[in-house]
Amino acid sequence: MVETFTFSVDTRNADLFDARFARLQSACEVHNCELELTYLGRETRDVKVLNEQGKVIGTEKVDFDNYTLTYEEPEQERYAYVGVMHRVGDSNILDVDPWFKSTYIDNTDDYDIDIPDEIYKVDLVCEHCLSGRLVKRTFVIFDFEANVFFQVAKGCLTGYIYFNHNRNVKDDFESLESYYERSGGWQRVTKTIDYEEFDRLCKVALQHYLSLEKLEYVSSMTAYYEGVSSTHRLVMELLENDVEIKPEVEELYPEFINFILKDSKTDLESMKVMMEENLVPDFKRGYLIYLAFKFLRYWERKDQINMEEELKKASNYVGVIGDKIETEVMYYRSTHFETMYGSMYMHFFKDNQGNVFVWGTGKNPEFDEGEYIKIKAKIKDHREYRGTKQTFINYVKFESVENKNK
């Protein structure tokens, strides 16, 4: 699609104009698209001068350069941004962009795109400018036409993703007609990545959670609004104080590693790199601290989770809707949520055959987990939830069965 428009540039914005045109030029070269800029001449205009309060205090004469720009935007996306890759020890970590992961990698119905294993071992070099200079960070791009992944340095990145971010080129250039005072100029800041030992960080995080009366994770946002310390900050303070790792943490640690590798939805290749190098870059630190929380939350419920997996296979619908039943069941969990009418509870039971019963009610009898109960009820509905056939009951009357608690 070819676009043509005419615009003016306040000459005080000349540096911005040069930078924006250079980016567009790079993008058109990469995508082999048409680009033509025509200079129409300079004119002088009277421009209002404003004070700090925004009031007009006079006018001044300012030069404006006029242009016509013709450019072609590619009809189909050829390149997609995959993520940023960092050097960690002798290997690489690829921090995959969530949009690319959900749109292309996880979408196996429409795409067959897998990140190659060798990308975690290649040298970090720019495959666009071919400078040959080894760097500590590159940006990974996927080329749909050639069906390959490749790396580019930050300066070369724009050409590939310029058209992929709904950039309005016309607005980019027409906005240069207005000038806003800029002071201080641009300052290049080079960020130094800090590293922690993988084993040490994970064990300290586990130890922090185990020291709590109630397992909880406090995000930085929650900490800010509630005026408390975030979990990340507390764990880092323990690291700085060189806290001694307790034996129970050492004993639990192999289970945590097993959880990461088998049970958790993690970027396994990057995780394996960090384990192998025993290094965690600071941008992955918070993620591992959260994974330790996720693991312990799973560990607290693992017996129940295993039981629910078994119930998924065993449970069948009981009786006919409208039937009255009388049976013995075991209580195994409850959930609750708030409605406009007050609190609503869902109590879950199973019988000796593994059939699941669900009682939705405003009552909360607070059964003990594993408690056996004799119930009289009416069958309200049959529903399947996440692969488990569930029999919903109402008009429930119950009494505890002695000597059958866990």
pLDDT digits (tens, 9 = 90+) for 134-146: 778 899 999 998 9
The confidence band for 403, taking pLDDT boundaries of 50, 70 and 90, is: low
Q: Which range has the worst mean pLDDT, 180-189, 214-223, 311-320, 351-360? A: 180-189
pLDDT at 189 over 60: no
What CA–CA distance (Å, rounded) separates 104 from 377? 49
Residue-wise pLDDT for 261-295, tens only, equals 887 677 788 899 999 999 999 989 999 999 999 99
- Grade residue 337 by pLDDT with cuts at 50, 70 and 90: confident
Q: Which helix (H) or strand (E) holds 169?
A: helix 169-174
pLDDT at 48: 81
Residue 65 DSSP SS3: strand
Collapsing DSSP to helix, strand or coil, 239 comes out as helix
> Beta strands 388-400 and 356-361: pairing type?
parallel
CA–CA dist 300, 282 (Å, integer): 28
Q: Is the pLDDT of residue 306 over 50?
A: yes
CATH architecture of 2-74+169-177: 2-Layer Sandwich (3.30)
**Pairing label, strands 324-339, 91-96:** unpaired
Is 62 a residue whose pLDDT tops 50? yes
Lowest mean pLDDT among 107-116, 160-169, 350-359: 160-169
156: Cα within 13 Å, side-chain hemisphere: 17
- Residue 406: pLDDT band (50, 70, 90) is very low
Query: How many other CB atoms sit within 10 Å of the CB of residue 212?
Result: 12
| Whether the predicted pLDDT of 186 surpasses 60 | no
Q: How far is CA 23 from CA 13, 26, 34, 126, 155, in A?
A: 16, 5, 14, 17, 10
Beta bridge partners of 139: 84, 152
Which CATH code for domain 315-400? 2.40.50.140
pLDDT at 142: 94
| Average pLDDT of the residues in 132-159 | 88
Rg (CA), the chain: 31
Q: Check if the beta carbon of residue 300 is closer than 8 Å to that of residue 333.
A: no
Tokens representing 328? 């013995």
CA atoms within 13 A on the CB side of 178: 6
Looking at the chain, the domain(s) classified CATH 2.40.50.140 span 315-400
CA distance 269 to 261: 10
Q: What are 291's two structure tokens?
A: 């994974």
Q: Which residue has the higher pLDDT, 76 or 270?
A: 270
Share above pLDDT 90 across residues of the chain, in percent, rounded to a whole number? 56
Lowest-confidence region among 42-51, 65-74, 384-393: 42-51
**Tokens 């979408």 correspond to what residue?**
107
Residue where the block lists tokens 């909360």:
364
| pLDDT tens digits along 385-402 | 889 999 999 999 998 776
DSSP string, 279-336: -EEHHHHHHHHHHHHHHHHHHHHHHHHHHHHHHHHH----S-TT-EEEEEEEEEEEEE
Boundaries of CATH 3.30.70 in the chain?
2-74+169-177
Judge whether 393 and 359 are in contact, CB under 8 Å.
yes
The tokens for 226 are: 């509630």
Query: Per residue in 199-224, pLDDT tens?
Result: 999 999 999 999 999 899 999 988 88
- Per the CB < 8 A criterion, the answer to whether 105 and 120 are in contact is no
Q: Report the candidate in 124, 84, 121 with the shortest Cα–Cα distance to residue 100.
A: 84
Burial level of 179, CB count in 10 A (0-12/13-18/19+)?
Answer: middle
Percent of the chain's residues with pLDDT above 70: 94
Q: Which of 371, 327, 384 is nearest to 351 (CA)?
A: 327
- Residue 153 makes CB contacts below 8 A (sequence gap 6+) with 126, 128, 129, 131, 135, 138, 139
The per-residue pLDDT for 190 is 58
Average pLDDT, the chain: 88
